[in-house]
């Protein structure tokens, strides 16, 4: 068993999680202004990615530029890993490849705690990726605990590139925002992602 084998039902049962489905969980999160470079990049890349209609194209042409922009905005205080093996507990199926993983550490050669954000790319059905993403978030919790670097919250996102659905894991409670956010408002997406790394964007700005 690996991350990709988990469904929402199996991950909730296996790890005794409490599921909370909410509307507008992140709707009040402040936006983070994107650069003109990112806006130009997305304007050019999105039609290509959607025409190709593959997870790889969407990951490379839409998702990666957004996450790289986030790292730039945070003055490279975080690390970004793409397509990386993240094996935490093989007996429980917490193993496999994460599409994107972010750690609150500037080191780039290896994953260091705390892992704070998981982004899973899907070609079409966002809901089908929820179980996989939550399993990776649970693995991040376990990883941080093993490294004695516990943080209260792990954030996650399942995205097609154009549409994003966000998840928050606190202890054993999983909160899923039922609202989908769209890359046409990339400032909102950046704001939510930033909020997954720092409690408030103001905290991020104070630390830069």
Which helix H or strand E contains 132, and what residues bound it?
helix 130-146
Whether residue 201 is predicted with pLDDT greater than 70 in this model: the reply is no
Whether residue 126 is predicted with pLDDT greater than 80 in this model: the reply is yes
Domain boundaries defined on the chain: 3-207
SS3 99: strand
pTM of the model: 0.91
Q: What is the pLDDT of residues 144-172, one digit of tens each?
A: 999 888 787 999 999 999 999 999 999 99
For the chain, report the end-to-end CA distance as a whole number of angstroms. Answer: 41
Average pLDDT over residues 7-35: 95
Query: Is CATH 3.30.70 correct for 3-207?
Result: no
Count the neighbouring beta carbons within 10 Å of the beta carbon of residue 90.
11
Query: Do 119 and 63 meet the contact criterion of CB atoms below 8 Å apart?
Result: yes
């Amino acid at each position: 068993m690996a991350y990709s084998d988990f469904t929402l039902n199996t991950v909730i049962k296996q790890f005794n999680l409490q599921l909370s489905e909410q509307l507008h969980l992140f709707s009040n999160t402040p936006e983070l202004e994107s650069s003109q470079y990112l806006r130009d990049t997305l304007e050019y890349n999105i039609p290509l990615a959607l025409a190709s209609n593959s997870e790889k194209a969407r990951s490379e042409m839409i998702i990666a530029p957004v996450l790289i922009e986030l790292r730039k905005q945070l003055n490279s205080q975080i690390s970004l890993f793409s397509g990386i093996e993240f094996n935490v507990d093989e007996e429980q199926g917490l193993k496999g490849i994460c599409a994107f993983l972010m750690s609150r550490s500037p080191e780039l050669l290896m994953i260091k705690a705390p892992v704070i954000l998981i982004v899973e790319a899907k070609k079409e059905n966002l809901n089908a990726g929820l179980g996989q993403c939550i399993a990776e978030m649970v693995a991040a919790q376990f990883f941080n605990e093993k490294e004695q670097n516990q943080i209260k919250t792990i954030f996650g996102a399942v995205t097609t590139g154009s549409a994003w659905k966000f998840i928050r894991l606190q202890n054993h409670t999983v909160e899923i925002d039922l609202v989908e956010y769209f890359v046409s408002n990339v400032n909102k997406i950046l704001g939510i992602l930033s909020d997954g790394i720092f409690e408030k964007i103001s905290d991020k700005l104070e630390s830069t």
